Structure 1
């Protein structure tokens, strides 16, 4: 697609794209972070694939009133299977990152999902 990027985003929100690669990073560590992306009522919000499935939406609504745990995981597995069979989506990979730091680097601690560690890093002076 040769449209300007803002026009592509606008078309995506209006369900006017046939295909698109759209990476997503977990900004909080919960399966809901990904399952909400396919919830029918979230079309024009964060359901950029414009996916609608009555069974998926029913299971997602049930998951919203449950605490994290094995029972909710069962719903998520059912929802993932629905996506496997009916959605035009491929959820497939996670990036691996290797971090190296000099002994003078202070405050570095790799966060499991966030990538802004540099906000908390400093260099020890005088060495």
Structure 2
């Protein structure tokens, strides 16, 4: 049994073939401001909808992201902390190289050669 201070890990199915990838809209993604849920204004467990660019908390059945996915029929999200992609409400993790450029926009990384003269 997990102790009080330990997090329980949820098993999440990982898929490489997501039928909703064509709905991702890179034009609306803007990660240059505070990453807060647009409903609760919380900065905990925030996901960005990759279809409309809005931020929502959680991905469980009672979360803002889950509700948004059902109401707006938007399915592709990124967790802003872990940088993992998810299909909501289906609940699986997406591992598709076509999305990896979004990670670099979320948290730019530069090599030493790119930052020195």
Scaled by the length of structure 1, what TM-score is found?
A: 0.24
More strand by share: 2
Scaled by the length of structure 2, what TM-score is found?
A: 0.25
Q: Which of structures 1 and 2 has the larger relative contact order (alpha carbons within 8 angstroms, sep 6+)?
A: 2
